[in-house]
Amino acid sequence: MSIYSTPTLDAFCEGCSTLFSSSGYSRHLATTTNPRCRTILDKADEYMPGVHDQEQPPSAPHFEGDLFGQDYSEQDFGQEPGGYQHPTDENHDNEIQDDEIQDDEIQDDHLDFDPNEPDWEPEVDRQYQGPPQRDEEHLPSESDNLQRTRAEQTENERNISQEPYKKLFPKSKGNPGAPMSSQKGNNEYQASQAQFEHTSAGNPYAPFTSRLDWEFARWAKLRGPGSTAINELLALDNMAEKLGLSYKNSAELNKIIDESLPGRPRFKREEIVVAGESFDIYFRDVIECVRALFGNPEFASYLVFAPEQHYSDPACRSEHRIYHEMHTGKWWWSTQIALKEKTPGATIIPIIISSDKTQLTLFRGKTAYPVYLTIGNIPKEIRKKPSRQAQILLGYLPTTRLKHITSPTSRRRALANLFHCGMKLMLDPLIEAGKHGLPMRGGDGVLRRCHPLFAAFVGDYPEQLLVTCTKVCPTCDIPHDELGSGDLGEPRDLQAILEALELVDGPPGEFFAACRDAGIKPIVHPFWEGFPYTNIFRAITPDILHQLYQGLIKHLVAWLTNSRAFGPIEVDARCRRMPPNHTT
């Protein structure tokens, strides 16, 4: 008989209908991949203070849907439904047993623990004399500092609270956002609604014949077990005729949805072969995705079509310029002037691409590499809120470590080329569309000639280096041993880099040497090579988490550890005195 008490199963998970111990329930929610259990954890985080309340992004992002919703199924990617199964009861039993074992181990670790007994502490350095004394005579008085601080704070708050002074883009330099025709038309949603009203007057469920017809189709697509089961169900005793359905099998239902309903852009599948092994990549038509965002009537009243310059003083002096939204930056203004020379009246659609590896049950719990798209015409207050769904899932890049390539150098180079090949398949249509433009109807029904231009890439630091084909800094040529020195490197020469990339079809040695001299890795045709009006080294956004938060803490701890004021022993002692967090 064990001397340890058996953990009490007093926590019930509504997501998977399983009992856990208190500590086991917390670990279950923190590690589960079940979307229903993840929903419970997300709701709990809204009421529980934690590390993410400090405006830091969560460490494990989850797919929360895009412009077209959250109801993606495996059929959208050409896979048979039912590939992913929720954990069975047997798996739950094993999970409970694992939790019980972990609880026993925790109790075993604390058998000899006395909460009143002090922890071991290293001896205090008796030679330490304390921090150096300040020269009080040469320090300004506290009242002077306080008055100056209050005056500066008042001035800063006044500048922030007031509306900025705007300098609009002159119409003589291009008239961006101008309509191609004076006649206003219907957007995609209005056109579909008008078509249904014309062909099926009085039927709100068109193209379905009745509410039951629509309800069954909705159930089959959102809750149904799969196409084979639907076919067998409808074949039972003339079920389709008895229910009055307009389809007799899953194929006919899919035809109605594909041909009669305004749908979202469909995923395409392509194969990429690397060293004799093929990998699948799923992606949508990027132009259709841009049209969907630009033509969404929900964003019509917020869209920005022309660049502006904002200032904090009425004189509009350059030292008081404000940068906040994308259309207030220098790139949009200068690019609009450059476009005016070739295509007056052009409307720029800044394309913002982001990518990050995350866990998705859609691919049977395997690591997926999603690529998202949004446009800079939508204000950032809308783009940054997942609930507004102002982004589109553009596609999935293949995830592999290429273990069949034995050479580490060759493997790294092949992985980089695989990434750029996949991104090129997704974004290649932007080249011609950006150069010559194409007509797009906005959510307001106005038809404009639009130029979708690659404007920004959002990713963490390793992805920034992967995208820019660099090794140290994605924006300048500073050497590795000078990082953190405070010296600014020279911006990377885009023209010299493009000239080096053009040598890819020549002798390999010449191509490698040219890339080395240009400061980039020898990548075969990076996806951004032909983008018009794009400098990829200026399109990289800062990685706040890794480059600011973690970098700042790293240098701060190093300074505290090596300083005379504290030292490693004092830092360790203070860390031990920190109260435990609910997630640790």
Rounded mean pLDDT, 19-44: 73
- Residues 98-121 pLDDT 10s: 443 344 443 444 444 454 555 566
Give the model's confidence band at 431: pLDDT under 50 very low, under 70 low, under 90 confident, else very high: very high
Determine the pLDDT at residue 58.
42
Reply yes or no on whether the pLDDT at 538 is more than 80: yes
- Contact call for residues 50 and 582 (beta carbons, < 8 A): yes
Residue 83 binned pLDDT confidence (cut-offs 50, 70, 90): very low
Number of helices (H), then strands (E), in the chain: 19, 13
pLDDT in tens, 223-241: 767 888 889 989 898 888 8
Q: What is the pLDDT of residue 190?
A: 65
Distance separating alpha carbons of residues 76 and 97, to the nearest angstrom: 37
| Mean pLDDT, rounded, for 378-392 | 92
Structure confidence at residue 332 (pLDDT): 96
CA distances from 564 to 130, 312, 568, 569 (A): 8, 43, 10, 12
pLDDT value, residue 143: 59
Q: Is the pLDDT of residue 419 over 60?
A: yes
| Predicted pLDDT at 117 | 52
Q: What residue ranges do the domains of the chain occupy?
A: 11-107, 208-260, 268-541, 542-584
Can you spell out the DSSP letters for 314-337?
TT--GGGEE--SGGGSHHHHHHHH
User: pLDDT band at 346, cuts 50/70/90?
Assistant: very high
For 187-305, where are the E strands, in sequence order? Answer: 268-274, 277-283
Cα separation of 15 and 267, whole Å? 30
Q: What is the mean pLDDT of the chain?
A: 79
| 3-class SS of residue 273 | strand
Query: Which tokens belong to 485?
Result: 């020195």
Indicate the pLDDT class of residue 89, thresholds 50, 70 and 90.
Answer: very low
Question: What's at 552, amino acid-wise?
Answer: L
pLDDT of 463: 92
Q: How confident is the model at residue 465 (pLDDT cuts 50, 70, 90)?
A: very high
**CA dist., res. 340 & res. 449, Å (int):** 12
Indicate whether 71 pLDDT > 70. no
pTM summary value: 0.70
Tokens at 458, concatenated: 């959002």
Mean pLDDT confidence for 216-228: 83
pLDDT of 139 higher than 80: no
The pLDDT value recorded for residue 467 is 96
Distances 391 to 263, 307, 411 between C-alpha atoms, Å: 16, 21, 33
